[in-house]
Structure 1
Amino acid sequence: MSSSTPRATNLTPEELEELRARARREAGPFLAPDVLRRARVHNEEWAAEILGHPYGGPHAVTWPELYLLHLAVQAEPTPPPPPLATAARLERETRAAQERRAVAQEAAYREKEWRELADALRRAGVRVEVRHNYTSHRHLEFYTQGADHVYLLDALRVGRLWRDAGVVLCHTPSNARNLACLEPATDGRLPSCRTCLGHLRSAARRLAA
């Protein structure tokens, strides 16, 4: 093992050999009830370094090995953090932080895009807002079905896209029954309907041109 590789114990190889030799001398053929009652390990990585092989749990070690672990706990009451578990935890924390940053960046981008698109239509005299589709009955405490749509407060006439005031951008005669119950979103949510967003982006581009 490289000297720069983190170890699960601060006991030197010489100290470990001394403890192993002591365990061989002192363990004897019979179990010691007081040792059994107090037997513990700091962690699996630490126990593996003390034993010199993987630690399979308290029921997978022999009595001399259990006695060796007992001696090692007395010799090293506060070992260093287990390197593998610590590295895995740090990796999980780093990955979680990266995911949180990505989610925050995506949310900021969506917020910025929505404001810019809504402003583009507003400058053309068309006001829009976000409304949630409550037509579905599957709205429970922890489950919500239904998209958040771009709702027109004014009529929109851009190219081939014609929509009256009082409907969402994805409205068509064939899907009107699926958009019967629309209520303003008051919690700052952004549009999630892909069709509405597609029409909104197209309309904003045309108006800008």
Structure 2
Amino acid sequence: MSSSTPRATNLTLEELDALRARARREAGPFVDPDVQRRFRVHNGEWATEVLGGPYGGPHALTWPELYLLHLAVQAEPTPPPPPRATAARLARELEEAPARRAAAEEAARQEEEWRDLVATLQAAGVRVEVRHNYTSHRHLEFYTQGGDHVYLLDPLHVGRLHRDARVALCHTPSNAPNLEYLEPTQDNRLPSCRTCLRHMRSAARRLTS
């Protein structure tokens, strides 16, 4: 092994040889249940280096091997990060970085668009806020389903679009039963209802044209 190759342990080869010799000496023919009960390893790469061969998990170990790893944990309570797993994680993060940047840029674009739309309608005397649709029956303890709507605090009349105050922008007489319980949100979320957003963009264009 090259001296520049990252290792999963800081124990030297001499220290490892000494631990292996001690394990052969001390393990004996009978399993110590206390050692077996407290057995742990830092990670698979570390265990492989200590054993000098593949680590297949605790159930694949002989008693002397288990005892050796027990001694090694005491000799090295804080080993370095496992090099192969660390390299794989860094490579994965590097591969995923463009997607994360794109998602962040898209989120920023949507936030900016929302602020502009709100300001345009407010300049025309129409205040809005985001409200969540709790009419859906699929709101369980750990699961919710329902859109986040643009809720009008003032009436809106732009072109052929006419909405009263205190309704969602996507409100129509036919879908009114599906929008019965719209609750204010407290986390600065953006609306997710595509119909609301489509109407809001159309109204904003007319108001600024």
> Which residue in the other structure is 1:147 paired with?
147
Give the C-alpha shift of residue 195 in structure 1. Answer: 0.5
* Percent identity of equivalent pairs: 62
> Which residue in the other structure is 1:4 paired with?
4
| Deviation readout 1:16-45 (Å, 9 max, x if unpaired) | 345545656x369x51566x6446454333
| Deviation readout 1:48-83 (Å, 9 max, x if unpaired) | 112211122444233443454456456x34452341
Structure 1: gaps spanning 5 or more residues: none
> Which residue in the other structure is 1:156 paired with?
157
Residues of 2 paired with 1:189 and 1:72: CA distance? 51
The answer to whether 1:80 aligns with 2:57 is no
Residue 45 of structure 1 aligns to which amino acid in structure 2? E
**Structure 1 residues 81, 157: closer, same or farther in 2, change over 3 A?**
same
Give the greater-gyration-radius structure (CA).
1
Residue 48 of structure 1 aligns to which amino acid in structure 2? T
> Which residue in the other structure is 2:194 paired with?
194
Residues of 2 paired with 1:131 and 1:23: CA distance? 66
TM-score of the two chains, using structure 2 as the length reference:
0.67
| Deviation readout 1:135-165 (Å, 9 max, x if unpaired) | 445545544443232233123223xx42132
Give the C-alpha shift of residue 15 in structure 1. Answer: 4.1
SS in 2 for 1:204: helix
Residues 10 and 80 in structure 2, CA contact (< 8 A), matched pair in contact too: no
Give the C-alpha shift of residue 90 in structure 1. Answer: 6.7
Give the C-alpha shift of residue 200 in structure 1. Answer: 0.6
The answer to whether 1:124 aligns with 2:119 is no
Give the C-alpha shift of residue 172 in structure 1. Answer: 2.8
Aligned residues: 199
Residues 170 and 195 in structure 2, CA contact (< 8 A), matched pair in contact too: yes
Residue 53 of structure 2 aligns to which amino acid in structure 1? H
Residues of 2 paired with 1:63 and 1:134: CA distance? 59
Residues of 2 paired with 1:22 and 1:155: CA distance? 83
Residues 41 and 47 in structure 1, CA contact (< 8 A), matched pair in contact too: no
Residues 19 and 68 in structure 1, CA contact (< 8 A), matched pair in contact too: yes
Residue 117 of structure 1 aligns to which amino acid in structure 2? L
**What CA RMSD, in Å, does the superposition of the two structures yield over aligned residues?**
4.0
Residues 128 and 154 in structure 1, CA contact (< 8 A), matched pair in contact too: no
TM-score of the two chains, using structure 1 as the length reference:
0.67
SS in 2 for 1:50: helix
